[in-house]
Amino acid sequence: MKLLGDILDQQMLDSEGHKFGKVDGIVLEVRDDGTARVAFIEEGAAVLARRIGRRCERWALAWNRRLGVRREPRYRIPWEKVLDVGVDVKVEMNGKDEPPQDWERWWRERVLSKLPFA
Amino acid sequence: MNLLEVALGIITGIGGFLEVGSIATSADGGASFRFQLIWALAVATICLIFLTEMSGRLAAVSKHTLADAVREEFGFNFTIVPRAMELIVNFMVLTAELGGVCMALKLATGWPIRVFAIPVMLIAWLMIWAGTLKIIENGTSMLGLVALCFAVAAWKHHPPLHDVLHGLVPTMPHHDAPRYWFFAISIVGATIAPYMFHFYSSGAIEDKWDEKSLGTNRFSAIAGMAFGGGLSVAIIVVAGMVFFPQNIQVSQYEQVPLMLFPTLGRWALPLFAATLGVCCFGAAIELALGTAYMLAQTFGWNWDENEKPHREARFAAAYSIILLLSGLLLLTGLDPLKLTMYSMALTAVILPLVVIPFLMLMNNEEYLREHTNGPIGNAVVIITIVLSSIIAIVTIPLQLAGGGG
């Protein structure tokens, strides 16, 4: 499997088929015998920011703290939870209560629910 | 062939094609250069037909929208550049479209634009918030037919057919060369708008297109865009017949309906106001949705216009915020015609950043399998886009320095 082509930047779906972020990063683990395996896939603004640069990452972490909406700006999913890699990456978990949906929940509860016809 | 599926093409044709940009650039272009700029519109329309067909084919075969596929193939660090530029351009164009609806209401009532800015923004928002894509599509398609008044006006003028056809051949201007080229690329920018690719490919995914849909896709791309392009030619012809001989240049929107008076009489003003209002309203909705699709697909949020807003809060927040900001910008009282002309030219500048990665995807067998692009589509699109962008980069400073618009 070509890691970068097949997983990185793909859409993630949870067990119920809901979109919950993209694969923003991949964490590799190098074993004692020198071979590498994917340990985690990562999601979050801090992960994305790091791809642009260290400074950008610090900035993203600082803003995440200041806004205080999202619990964990670098969210890791163990590779064992990945069920299928096709058009999307299917992950075995209920995404609804996980950090990638913190902002979704914040907009829904704090803003959108107060608008008419919601 | 499913008529409802074709409606997706027609609404993209009306909402995305005939809108504040093409009405303004066509009217101004015809007034200044008679039929001489028809070629720019023809080239841009053909290019747009290819690009629209490609965005539907990409979605039908690969099950990816444009923003999804570009991020996946070129990575986040690349994708953020065109998407950020699109966000800025979309914000300007959305403001211009809302300004177009307010201008239509101003023509009908005589009240200033600022009075309408916030109510128009709220109604557009409510349509997306409480309506569904099908209602929006069909509603705008039906109401957009009022734009046929331009075709009727062009017909009644009995324009010299030979001269109109001659306009299809690119020629050098006899006067005002920088202005001529600025108009040419503004017409390209008004015709080929990147948000339409996001809107169209997302619609194709929502409607669950597959390889069986490719015929419908081709038909609706050609029918919708040719319809929009034909009406834009009609505007150039009418402006060329009425304004050009009297040496009237369009410097304000209020002048544009005057070109319908000789043929439509007392119906000129209401028909023009209705056309401008409906087309800009449809385009504003497509733009707000197109921007939300683009953001959701870049960051992996839930998106589906047919879902209830609370099921996809960030998607709903995205279109709500951009609509709100555009409404507020309109309140500052900037000149909607100038804003339109410069937004269209700026669109032409950023087109290569959006379209070149798109073309690379369309030639990638991992996404398109046996349905990759042919050489003609590639050549037409790449030549049009790259030339337009270069001309735009050269002429915008000249136009700004000259103070025109």
Condensed to tens digits (0 to 9), the pLDDT of residues B73-82 reads 999 999 999 9
Mean pLDDT value across residues B159-188: 93
What 3-state class would DSSP assign to B132? Answer: coil
Q: What is the pLDDT of residue B13?
A: 57
| Owner of token pair 């490919």 | B201
Confidence of residue A20 (pLDDT cuts 50, 70, 90): confident
Distance from CA of A44 to the nearest CA of B (A): 9
Please check whether residue A75 is in contact with residue A61, taking contact to mean a CB–CB distance below 8 angstroms.
no
Partners of B80 on chain A (C-beta within 8 Å) are 52
CA distance A113 to B130: 13
**pLDDT tens per residue across span B15-74:** 557 888 899 999 999 999 999 999 999 999 999 999 999 999 999 999 999 999 999 999
- Do A87 and B63 make contact, defined as CB atoms within 8 angstroms? yes
Distance from CA of B305 to the nearest CA of A (A): 14
Partners of B79 on chain A (C-beta within 8 Å) are 9
Q: What is the pLDDT of residue B402?
A: 72
Residue A14 has pLDDT above 60, yes or no: yes
Partners of B60 on chain A (C-beta within 8 Å) are none
What 3-state class would DSSP assign to A45? Answer: helix
Q: What is the pLDDT of residue B10?
A: 63
User: What are the C-alpha distances in Å from B329 to residues B96, B99, B128, B311?
Assistant: 10, 10, 20, 29
- Do B71 and A22 make contact, defined as CB atoms within 8 angstroms? yes
Cα B254 from chain centroid (whole Å): 21
Residue numbers of B between 61 and 100 with CB closer than 8 Å to A: 62-64, 68, 71-72, 75-77, 79-80
- Do A22 and B299 make contact, defined as CB atoms within 8 angstroms? yes
Residue numbers of A between 43 and 62 with CB closer than 8 Å to B: 43, 48, 51-52
Partners of B300 on chain A (C-beta within 8 Å) are 11-12, 19-22, 43
Distance from CA of A33 to the nearest CA of B (A): 31
Closest partner CB to B76 (pick from A21, A48, A106): A48
Residue B405 has pLDDT above 50, yes or no: no
Put simply, whether A110 touches B (Cβ < 8 Å) is: no
Residue B126 has pLDDT above 60, yes or no: yes
Q: Residue B45 carries which side chain, given as an amino acid letter? A: T
- Do A105 and B75 make contact, defined as CB atoms within 8 angstroms? no
Residue B325: burial class (beta carbons within 10 Å; 0-12, 13-18, 19+)? middle
Cα dihedral B132, B135, B138, B142 in deg (nearest 10) = -140
B19 vs A46: which has the higher pLDDT: A46
**By percentage, how much of chain A surpasses pLDDT 70?**
95
What sign for the dihedral angle of Cα B343, B348, B352, B355? positive
Instruction: Determine which of A107, A109, A113 to mutate to test the interface with B (most B C-beta atoms within 10 Å).
Output: A107
Confidence of residue A1 (pLDDT cuts 50, 70, 90): low
Mean pLDDT value across residues B322-331: 96
Closest partner CB to A113 (pick from B72, B80, B310): B310
The dihedral region occupied by B208, where left means phi > 0, alpha psi between -120 and 50, and beta the remainder, is: left
B205 vs B15: which has the higher pLDDT: B205
**pLDDT tens per residue across span A69-106:** 999 999 999 999 999 998 899 999 888 889 999 999 99
Query: Model-level pTM?
Result: 0.93
Element (DSSP H or E) covering residue B180: helix B177-191
- Do B76 and A9 make contact, defined as CB atoms within 8 angstroms? yes
Residue numbers of A between 8 and 37 with CB closer than 8 Å to B: 8-12, 18-22, 24
Q: What is the pLDDT of residue B350?
A: 94
Across the strands, what pairs with A13? A19, A90
- Do B299 and A118 make contact, defined as CB atoms within 8 angstroms? no
- Do B302 and A108 make contact, defined as CB atoms within 8 angstroms? no
- Do A22 and B300 make contact, defined as CB atoms within 8 angstroms? yes
Closest Cα in chain A to B73: A5
- Do B76 and A105 make contact, defined as CB atoms within 8 angstroms? no
